[in-house]
Amino acid sequence: MYQGGYMGKVLRINLTDQTSKEEGLPLAVAKDFIGGAGFGIKYLFDEVKGGIDPLGPENKLIFASGPLSGTNVPCSSRMAVTAKSPLTGAVGMALSGGYFPTELKFAGYDAMIVEGKAKNPTYVWIKNGEVKFRSAKKVWGMKTTDTQQIIKNELNDQNIRMVCIGPAGENQIKIASIINEWRAVGRKGLGAVMGSKNLKAIAVRGTEKIAVADKDKLKAARGEFTKAMKESHVLYPAFSKMGTPMLVDHTCAMGIFPTKNFSATGEYDPSDKIGTEVQGTRNVGKEHCYGCPVGCSQLKLAKTGPYAGILTEGPEFETMFAYGGVTGVENIDAIIAADRLADELGLDTISSGVTIAFAMELYEKGVLSKEDTGGLELNFGNDKAMVAIVQQMAYREGIGDLLADGTKAAAEKIGKDSENYAMHVKGLELPAYDVRGAKAHGLNYATSFTGADHCRGYAFQEIFGIPFPQEVDRLAVEGKGKLTKWNQDVRTACADAPTMCSFILDMAVPHMATQNTAALLEAVTGLEFTPEEIQEAGERINNLARAFNAREGFTRADDTLPERLLTEPLKGGASKGHFISKDELNQMLDEYYAERGWDVTTGAPTREKLTELGLEYVADQLS
Amino acid sequence: MYQGGYMGKVLRINLTDQTSKEEGLPLAVAKDFIGGAGFGIKYLFDEVKGGIDPLGPENKLIFASGPLSGTNVPCSSRMAVTAKSPLTGAVGMALSGGYFPTELKFAGYDAMIVEGKAKNPTYVWIKNGEVKFRSAKKVWGMKTTDTQQIIKNELNDQNIRMVCIGPAGENQIKIASIINEWRAVGRKGLGAVMGSKNLKAIAVRGTEKIAVADKDKLKAARGEFTKAMKESHVLYPAFSKMGTPMLVDHTCAMGIFPTKNFSATGEYDPSDKIGTEVQGTRNVGKEHCYGCPVGCSQLKLAKTGPYAGILTEGPEFETMFAYGGVTGVENIDAIIAADRLADELGLDTISSGVTIAFAMELYEKGVLSKEDTGGLELNFGNDKAMVAIVQQMAYREGIGDLLADGTKAAAEKIGKDSENYAMHVKGLELPAYDVRGAKAHGLNYATSFTGADHCRGYAFQEIFGIPFPQEVDRLAVEGKGKLTKWNQDVRTACADAPTMCSFILDMAVPHMATQNTAALLEAVTGLEFTPEEIQEAGERINNLARAFNAREGFTRADDTLPERLLTEPLKGGASKGHFISKDELNQMLDEYYAERGWDVTTGAPTREKLTELGLEYVADQLS
């Protein structure tokens, strides 16, 4: 049924009765959904009914790498993890790189569907197609690095690759992450889903080779791709050396690096405290994902005070924002320490940082008292309090109990007008980029099927000035609906599904994204793909995800932004005076829905659009 | 020249000019010094001149496993590390288990002699006889777990075994340890020696098989040995389940668990806070050294407050004492956290804990002020202050600067009568066991060639009531000179040199120690050994070590105990009223020197004794 060894097998793991089985992947799925996020969303929509409890046994957790993972195509060792998000109630899909995605392929699987709930703490051990369920009693409660080491020791194999959760996932805090080595499937609380299933880890070891349909074609396509990588003015010259944190300076200069819970963006600029120059004093080396010649991952070592000697891979730009700018913390070593701690405890740096910043603002406003904080002086900039609360969140202790499930839940508990300071969309905390100065980026936050997510339809045109598919004015509103659709569809089709690193997409191949993806996929899979089909697959996946959310009750009303961004102009910096008014947002939304062919009132995909994309059966479920 | 493959090779590593060479090990050395500590002390005496700076390039660092390491003899994966100690100025020799000792054998070497000083931070990479010098710039400053992981990644081999130092060793604090995985070459500041040489780590990978001279003989000898292990009433039934920390209850019941800097031993009994029952609530599993069926190493996971989620292998009994009893800290989770932190920073738990306890007593007495402590309330029992100071010591920050080189150096800086509260012998901090209630154990502390060291001539007769070679009264003085010689020689000959786990010696084969060692060594090496020769080798090694110290200027006057133990009777508990008076100490010393055949005035080995042991050349250097 399959050509070129593409889409070998899906492994279905049932934790309730501790069984597993292999399934073939229908060719139509392989062709229409490509892999990664495509597979995850397809299986999620088809197999998880509307309205289920995301932390109940009915939820499913789908791990899927892409058709390119494990081949010699660089930057393809990525995977999507998909479930219904306990944080948002919407599609929860997040990606991670590292070595696990290819190891899963080498073990024989394109995807893994984890179902049910184990009676006791369990980990799954997969070796070249052999699946074992093992007690995780020994490692339950352990941090993620220790968990991985102790399981390697227990299985007597130091070459195992693993995904696991830390105490945050075990305690089902809704901003818990999944960790593989030091990389995170960070957002949307997927770690809590693992925890709810009593699943501590999945350990994988594989030695199978990945078949390639047409080696000559692949050589040619790969050649084009790596040539574009080398020609990028950013990728090797800057990004390889500094990684994502180089964006601190860049976004500060643009006046869109969010600070102090978005209350002081532009006005307060911490780039001299946590920007490139200071980062450089902590850089000690780098790490690579499997098969990546770039190695954007920067190792940083804290140097001072109680943080001295703490190493982290990162902190990525988003964490510089989450534990830096948005909390007002200026101590680079505290940011490094908090980043490592969050990875060890298994919680999302973005959501935890933004939630702490939210609490800081409420503390400064007198809404939260020193009694509420357990004696912590929770002003902006208090690094020790921040690090303490990261720990407390994972255990729901002290004020961590109030904050553990993110800003939306905390605001509901606190009441009063606290929701006005809760920086989230659909329950997902805002990432970096103050979108008052980058409006397509803002429209993406408002409309992304995962909530406020910089990883879905990243508006690199606005952030980097890259003129593909066209030049844009970041402060303009017109055309942003169309652009956001393009960004979301292309990102899904060319990065999240195949699965390719999105940084490469943005920095090296924005001008040839769909062509490049089509060529690589054809060579590896033997299936035929046109660039148009690739882009349509992206649209299909976005529509299916949107349909999932519609089935869960999400409407146009949920496609919004926090009140602050809609009403408060930026007070300083290069984007001073700008904001996204409610009218502007509505204007962008109208255009966006029109471009998408969605109902402009409900924001739901229309039967026509779904049918056009081959998703008639989906339309039936929405009516 | 060698029979049975025994004593293959010594690797000499010169850091100054980044060269290495292989040398054969003279048969006479193999026969007379057995291995491990024997080799270390032999090479140290012969190659390191008197009076050198222990932290200068003239010092050498000798890693030696034993002839049994890497064979199927259980509990033999150990190694001795030997250098001139920067903490004591005497022989610095300490042992560690784990996997590194056998890996070194598998890589082709019985011993490694590290000389000189690298110009820049360096690590050495040894793979099956191939030696490379690599820049350690990337890992310099890292904690020990991270160091090992990052080097494995860099060398692209997850099966590497390693010794390394943490920030404490880099900063040459005189109580720095050497770490391999989670096991420590803990005492005498050998980590500082590595640091002084700019040597961050030695990574080893080997796949050679260890030859055995007579497999049938080995089968028989091994059978006798494992039978004795199984017959032990303690080894599997208790020690395997609880490990060394089971001694907290035991020594508390004897009234010899030292508390509050030895000021409250017996009187204050924390066994309900940190004893077996509470330990059990934190136990999550165990780890084994290579080839060990016992697995005494207990994994403990902290559960509460800021310490929650911190895992440690241990804390061993000595650390329960050092971060518990002697500091008065009753929070088991803080002890776990401090233990892990010390391993990560690479500093000795015993010396750091006792030094912090010393500072606590001085703080309570008003000798140290809150200004001296940088604002810490340094009362006995303050767990947060303890953990903070462990960190500060590694970096010589705050009060850590005063304490980083141990009690003796701190007392010299503080002056006044602070030396009276400095619990050390020859500069090495006292381990657990308040020897006012175990007098041979005390005599060993006074006379051991490494300073106050429970690992040299452990008086298991007093601590466990084991009647070999004879029954003893732990509070008596007579006969303790003879007993201590036996304990020191047999421990050296049957554990530290061959190299075998000393716990097995004490708990399973005290009645057949020299016979067992002789039989195993004969079978593996093909050399002939009588039990008497084994014991004499122990004596020889102790004499050579003593000669090293004599050459450094140590005399009988240094064979003493802290003032408190000689003048203050125990105030409570099962050993209440007892102490070792100066007369008693002198009486024991006289007997000890007489038994040893040493000069009763100087405490130095006589020419006659040295000649008898085949060490005439040593006598020449002492005269």
ipTM of the complex: 0.96
> Do A396 and A439 have their domain in common?
no
Q: Which residues contact B108 (CB under 8 A, 6 or more apart)?
A: B8, B9, B11, B128, B129, B206, B208
Are the beta carbons of A138 and B299 separated by less than 8 Å? yes
Examine the fold and report which residue of A417, A448, A476 is the final residue of a domain before the chain moves on. Answer: A417
Q: How far is CA A472 from CA A382, A431, B257, in A?
A: 39, 22, 74
Can you tell me the distance from the alpha carbon of A197 to that of A58, in angstroms, rounded to the nearest whole number?
A: 10
Structural domain contains residue A285: yes
Specify the residue for token string 């970041």: A474
**Sign of the C-alpha dihedral computed for residues B505, B508, B510 and B514 taken in this order:** negative
Task: Note whether B389 contacts A: Cβ–Cβ < 8 A.
Answer: no
Which candidate from A139, A146, A159 shows the least CB-CB separation from B158?
A159
Domain count, chain A: 3
> Do A248 and A287 have their domain in common?
yes
H or E element that contains A359 = helix A349-364
CATH of the domain at B442: 1.10.599.10
Beta bridge partners of A298: A286
Contacts of A152 in chain B (CB under 8 A): 158
Are the beta carbons of B309 and A145 separated by less than 8 Å? no
Which candidate from A137, A141, A308 shows the least CB-CB separation from B395?
A308
Structural domain contains residue A230: no
Structural domain contains residue B233: no
Examine the fold and report which residue of A417, A443, A475 is the final residue of a domain before the chain moves on. Answer: A417
> Do B115 and B175 have their domain in common?
yes
Can you tell me the distance from the alpha carbon of A57 to that of A53, in angstroms, rounded to the nearest whole number?
A: 8
Residue-level pLDDT at A7: 66
Structural domain contains residue B395: yes
Task: Note whether A151 contacts B: Cβ–Cβ < 8 A.
Answer: no
Are the beta carbons of B309 and A388 separated by less than 8 Å? no
Residue B7 has pLDDT above 90, yes or no: no
CA distance B141 to chain A (A): 6
Can you tell me the distance from the alpha carbon of A602 to that of A100, in angstroms, rounded to the nearest whole number?
A: 39
Can you tell me the distance from the alpha carbon of A458 to that of A474, in angstroms, rounded to the nearest whole number?
A: 13
Q: Which domain holds residue B465?
A: 435-561+581-622
Residue A300 near residue A282, CB atoms below 8 Å: yes
> Do A142 and A273 have their domain in common?
no
Can you tell me the distance from the alpha carbon of A153 to that of A147, in angstroms, rounded to the nearest whole number?
A: 10
Contacts of B395 in chain A (CB under 8 A): 308-309
- Identify the three-state secondary structure at position A45: helix
Residue A189 near residue A175, CB atoms below 8 Å: yes
- The tally of CA atoms less than 13 A away on the side-chain side of residue B252 is 21
Residue A371's CB: how many other CB atoms inside 10 A? Answer: 8
Structural domain contains residue B576: no
CA distance A40 to chain B (A): 31
Nearest in space to A510 (alpha carbons), one of A564, A471, A453: A471
Residue-level pLDDT at B2: 38
CA distance A237 to chain B (A): 21
Are the beta carbons of B285 and A150 separated by less than 8 Å? yes
Residue-level pLDDT at B623: 77
DSSP β-ladder status, A178-180 and A183-185: antiparallel
Structural domain contains residue B441: yes
CA distance A548 to chain B (A): 37
Top residue of B99, B123, B150, B288 to mutate, by most chain A CBs within 10 Å, is: B150
> Do B453 and B405 have their domain in common?
no
B419 phi and psi angles, rounded to 5 deg:
-55, -25
Contacts of A305 in chain B (CB under 8 A): 397
Structure tokens at A439: 């409006």
Residue A153 near residue B289, CB atoms below 8 Å: no
**Sign of the C-alpha dihedral computed for residues B182, B297, B350 and B98 taken in this order:** negative
Tell me, rounded to whole angstroms, the distance of Cα B460 from its chain centroid: 16
Task: Note whether A394 contacts B: Cβ–Cβ < 8 A.
Answer: yes
Task: Note whether A213 contacts B: Cβ–Cβ < 8 A.
Answer: no
Are the beta carbons of B303 and A141 separated by less than 8 Å? yes
Residue range B224-239, pLDDT digits in tens: 999 999 999 999 999 9
Residue A615 near residue A540, CB atoms below 8 Å: yes
Top residue of A139, A140, A146 to mutate, by most chain B CBs within 10 Å, is: A146
> Do B167 and B22 have their domain in common?
yes
Are the beta carbons of A145 and B145 separated by less than 8 Å? yes
**Sign of the C-alpha dihedral computed for residues B304, B306, B311 and B312 taken in this order:** negative
CATH of the domain at A77: 3.60.9.10
Can you tell me the distance from the alpha carbon of B309 to that of B298, in angstroms, rounded to the nearest whole number?
A: 16
> Do B448 and B403 have their domain in common?
no
Examine the fold and report which residue of A153, A179, A205 is the final residue of a domain before the chain moves on. Answer: A205
**Sign of the C-alpha dihedral computed for residues A431, A432, A433 and A436 taken in this order:** positive
Mean pLDDT, chain B, rounded, equals 96
> Do B440 and B413 have their domain in common?
no
Are the beta carbons of A309 and B388 separated by less than 8 Å? no
CA distance B54 to chain A (A): 26
CA distance B391 to chain A (A): 7
Residue range B575-617, pLDDT digits in tens: 999 999 999 999 999 999 999 999 999 999 999 999 999 999 9
Can you tell me the distance from the alpha carbon of B79 to that of B99, in angstroms, rounded to the nearest whole number?
A: 10
- The tally of CA atoms less than 13 A away on the side-chain side of residue A143 is 21
Residue-level pLDDT at A8: 82
Are the beta carbons of A306 and B388 separated by less than 8 Å? yes
User: Please, what are the averages of pLDDT over each run of 10 residues along chain A (623 residues)?
Assistant: 58 98 92 97 98 98 97 97 98 97 96 98 97 98 98 98 98 98 96 98 96 96 97 95 95 98 98 97 95 95 97 97 98 98 98 98 98 98 98 98 98 96 98 98 98 96 94 98 98 98 94 97 95 98 98 98 98 98 98 98 97 97 87
Residue A274 near residue A325, CB atoms below 8 Å: yes
- Please calculate the CA angle B322-B328-B329 and round it to the nearest 5 degrees: 80
User: What is the reported pTM?
Assistant: 0.97
Q: How far is CA B350 from CA B267, B269, B354, in A?
A: 21, 19, 6
Nearest in space to A507 (alpha carbons), one of A317, A271, A350, A296: A296
Q: How far is CA A148 from CA A159, A171, B83, B338, in A?
A: 11, 18, 35, 22
Residue B124's CB: how many other CB atoms inside 10 A? Answer: 24
Structural domain contains residue B499: yes
DSSP string, B404-467: TTHHHHHHHHH-TTGGGG--EETTEEP-SS-GGG-HHHHHHHHH-TTSS-TTTS--HHHHH---
Residue B535 has pLDDT above 60, yes or no: yes
The pLDDT-based confidence of B1 (bands split at 50, 70, 90) is: very low
Nearest CA in chain B to A167: B309
Task: Note whether A146 contacts B: Cβ–Cβ < 8 A.
Answer: yes
DSSP string, B312-327: EE---HHHIIIIIGGG
Task: Note whether B166 contacts A: Cβ–Cβ < 8 A.
Answer: yes
Can you tell me the distance from the alpha carbon of A174 to that of B320, in angstroms, rounded to the nearest whole number?
A: 37
Are the beta carbons of B311 and A158 separated by less than 8 Å? no
Nearest CA in chain A to B156: A159
Can you tell me the distance from the alpha carbon of A221 to that of A230, in angstroms, rounded to the nearest whole number?
A: 14
Task: Note whether B146 contacts A: Cβ–Cβ < 8 A.
Answer: yes
Are the beta carbons of A308 and B167 separated by less than 8 Å? yes
Task: Note whether B173 contacts A: Cβ–Cβ < 8 A.
Answer: no
Residue A317 near residue A248, CB atoms below 8 Å: yes
Nearest CA in chain A to B388: A306
Structural domain contains residue B227: no
Which candidate from B145, B158, B309 shows the least CB-CB separation from A167?
B309
Nearest in space to B182 (alpha carbons), one of B320, B312, B71: B312
Can you tell me the distance from the alpha carbon of A438 to that of B4, in angstroms, rounded to the nearest whole number?
A: 76
> Do A411 and A454 have their domain in common?
no
Task: Note whether A396 contacts B: Cβ–Cβ < 8 A.
Answer: no
> Do A70 and A191 have their domain in common?
yes
Residue B177 near residue B168, CB atoms below 8 Å: yes
Contacts of B292 in chain A (CB under 8 A): none
> Do B532 and B439 have their domain in common?
yes
Q: How far is CA A551 from CA A48, A62, A145, A176, B257, in A?
A: 11, 19, 38, 25, 66
Can you tell me the distance from the alpha carbon of B36 to that of B545, in angstroms, rounded to the nearest whole number?
A: 13
Contacts of A301 in chain B (CB under 8 A): 141-142
Specify the residue for token string 């009441």: A415
Contacts of A333 in chain B (CB under 8 A): none
Amino acid at B90: A
Task: Note whether A345 contacts B: Cβ–Cβ < 8 A.
Answer: yes
> Do A411 and A440 have their domain in common?
no
